[in-house]
Amino acid sequence: MTSNGSVELKIQRFDPERDAAPHWQTFTVPVEPMDRVLDLLTRAKELFDGSITFRRSCAHGVCGSDALLINGRNRLACKLRVEQLGKSVTVAPLPGLPIVKDLVVDMDGFFDKYRSVQPYLVASPVEGSGERLQSQEQRDRFDDTTKCILCAACTTSCPSFWAEPEYVGPAAIVNAHRFIFDSRDENAEARLDILSDEDGVWRCRTTFNCVEACPRGINITKAILEVSSAISAQE
Amino acid sequence: MTSGLRSSTTHTDVEAIVVGAGGAGLWAALELAREGIPTAVLTKLYPTRSHTGAAQGGVCAALGNVEEDHWEWHMFDTIKGGDYLADQDAAEVLAREAIPAVIELERMGLPFNRTPDGKIDQRRFGGHTRNFGEGPVRRSCYAADRTGHMILQTLYQQCIKAGVKFYDEYHVVDLVFEGGEANQGGRCSGVVGYKISDGTLHVIRAKAVLLATGGYGRAWRVTSNAHSLTGDGMSLAWRHGVPLQDMEFYQFHPTGIVGIGILLSEAARGEGGYLLNDSGTRFMETYAPKLMELAPRDMISRAIYQEVRAGRGIGGRDYIHLDVRHLGRKVIEEKLPDITDFARVYQGVEPISEPVPVQPTAHYAMGGVPTNLETEVLADARGTVVPGLFAAGEVACVSVHGANRLGTNSLVDLLVFGKRAGIRMAQICKSTSQPGSIQGAERAVRDELLELSTRPTGVRPAEIRRELAALMMDNVGVYRDEALLGAAVKRITALKLEYANVRVEDTGSVFNTDLLEARELGYLLDTAEATAVSAYARKESRGAHSREDFPERDDAKFLAHTLVWRGTEGAAASTIDYKPVTITKFEPKPRVY
Q: Residue A210: inside a domain, yes or no?
A: yes
| Coil, strand or helix at A3 | coil
- Give residue-wise pLDDT tens across range A34-75: 899 999 999 999 999 999 999 999 999 999 999 999 999 999
CATH 1.20.58.100 domain residues, chain B: 443-574
Closest by alpha carbon to B400, among B28, B77, B78?
B78
Q: What is the dihedral of CA B479, B480, B484, B489, to 10 degrees?
A: 120
User: A11 pLDDT exceeds 80?
Assistant: yes
Q: Residue A1: inside a domain, yes or no?
A: no
Domain ends where: A105, A131, A165?
Answer: A105
Q: Are residues A64 and A154 in the same domain?
A: no
pLDDT of amino acid B337: 84
Q: Which residue of A has its CA nearest to B121?
A: A136
Residues 28-57 of B with CB under 8 A from A: 45-46, 48-51, 53-54
**Helix residue ranges, H only, B17-145:** 23-34, 71-81, 88-108
Q: Shortest Cα distance from A164 to chain B (angstroms)? A: 25
Query: For residue B50, which residues of chain A lie inside 8 Å, CB to CB?
Result: 63
| Coil, strand or helix at B41 | strand
CATH number at A127 reads 1.10.1060.10
Q: Are residues A54 and A116 in the same domain?
A: no
Q: Are residues A82 and A152 in the same domain?
A: no
Q: Are residues A89 and A145 in the same domain?
A: no
Q: What is the crossing angle of helices B88-108 and B409-431, to 10°?
A: 90
Answer whether B111 sits within 8 Å of A60, measured CB to CB: no
Q: Residue A172: inside a domain, yes or no?
A: yes
Report how far residue B209's alpha carbon sits from residue B585's, in angstroms, rounded to the nearest whole number: 33
Q: Residue A218: inside a domain, yes or no?
A: yes
CATH number at A88 reads 3.10.20.30
Query: For residue B508, which residues of chain A lie inside 8 Å, CB to CB?
Result: 15, 17-18, 51, 101
Q: Are residues A137 and A171 in the same domain?
A: yes
Query: For residue B258, which residues of chain A lie inside 8 Å, CB to CB?
Result: none
User: A–B: how many Cβ contacts below 8 A?
Assistant: 159
Q: Are residues A117 and A217 in the same domain?
A: yes
Is B297 one of the annotated active-site residues of the chain?
yes
Q: Are residues A72 and A140 in the same domain?
A: no
Closest by alpha carbon to A184, among B110, B153, B148?
B110
**Buried residues in B275-285 as b, exposed as e (16+ CB within 10 A):** bbbbeeeebbe
Catalytic residue among B205, B297, B480, B542: B297
Report how far residue B192's alpha carbon sits from residue B177's, in angstroms, rounded to the nearest whole number: 11
CA distances (Å), origin B468, targets B233, B440, B488, B496, B514: 19, 34, 9, 10, 18
What average pLDDT score do residues A199-226 get? Answer: 96
Q: Count CA atoms within 13 Å of residue B278 on its CB side.
A: 14
Fold adopted by B255-361: Flavocytochrome C3; Chain A, domain 1 (3.90.700)
Triad B370, B372, B378: Cα angle to 5°: 45
Query: For residue A108, which residues of chain B lie inside 8 Å, CB to CB?
Result: 168
Query: Which of B156, B318, B345 to probe the A interface (max A CBs under 10 A)?
Result: B345
- CATH for B443-574, among 1.10.10.10, 3.30.2350.10, 2.60.40.10, 1.20.58.100? 1.20.58.100
Q: Are residues A52 and A137 in the same domain?
A: no
Q: Are residues A66 and A160 in the same domain?
A: no
Domain ends where: A81, A105, A129?
Answer: A105
Q: Residue A187: inside a domain, yes or no?
A: yes
Q: What's the per-residue H, E or C state across B470-537?
A: HHHHHHCCCEECHHHHHHHHHHHHHHHHHHCCECCCCCCCCCCHHHHHHHHHHHHHHHHHHHHHHHHH
- Give residue-wise pLDDT tens across range B189-200: 999 999 999 999
The answer to whether B78 and B401 have CB atoms below 8 angstroms apart is yes
Answer whether B117 sits within 8 Å of A133, measured CB to CB: yes
Nearest by CB to B227, which of A53, A56, A111?
A56
B333 touches chain A (CB under 8 A): no
Q: Are residues A78 and A29 in the same domain?
A: yes
Concatenating the DSSP letter of every residue in B412-475 gives: HHHHHHHHHHHHHHHHHHHHSPPP---TTTTHHHHHHHHHHHH-SS-B-HHHHHHHHHHHHHHH
Q: Are residues A13 and A34 in the same domain?
A: yes
A202 lies in which domain range?
Answer: 108-234
Q: Are residues A49 and A116 in the same domain?
A: no
pLDDT of amino acid B2: 64
User: A235 pLDDT exceeds 80?
Assistant: no
User: A2 pLDDT exceeds 50?
Assistant: no
pLDDT of amino acid B45: 98
CATH 3.90.700.10 domain residues, chain B: 255-361
Answer whether A146 sits within 8 Å of B342, measured CB to CB: no
Burial class (CB in 10 A: 0-12, 13-18, 19+), B560: middle
Q: Residue A85: inside a domain, yes or no?
A: yes
Model pTM score: 0.97
Digitized pLDDT (tens) for each residue of chain B, 593 residues in all: 467 888 889 999 999 999 999 999 999 999 999 999 999 999 999 999 999 999 988 999 999 999 999 999 999 999 999 999 999 999 999 999 999 999 999 999 999 999 999 999 999 999 999 999 999 999 999 998 899 999 999 999 999 999 999 999 999 999 999 999 999 999 999 999 999 999 999 999 999 999 999 999 999 999 999 999 999 999 999 999 999 999 999 999 999 999 899 999 888 998 999 999 999 999 999 999 999 999 999 999 999 999 999 999 999 999 999 999 999 999 998 888 878 889 998 998 999 999 999 999 999 999 999 999 999 999 999 999 999 999 999 999 999 999 999 999 999 999 999 999 999 999 999 999 999 999 999 999 999 999 999 898 899 999 999 999 999 999 999 999 999 999 999 999 999 999 999 999 999 999 999 999 999 999 999 999 999 999 999 999 999 999 999 999 999 999 999 999 999 876 777 899 999 999 999 999 999 88
Q: Residue A29: inside a domain, yes or no?
A: yes
Q: In what order do the strands lie in the sheet with B244-245?
A: B244-245, B560-565, B575-580
pLDDT of amino acid A215: 96
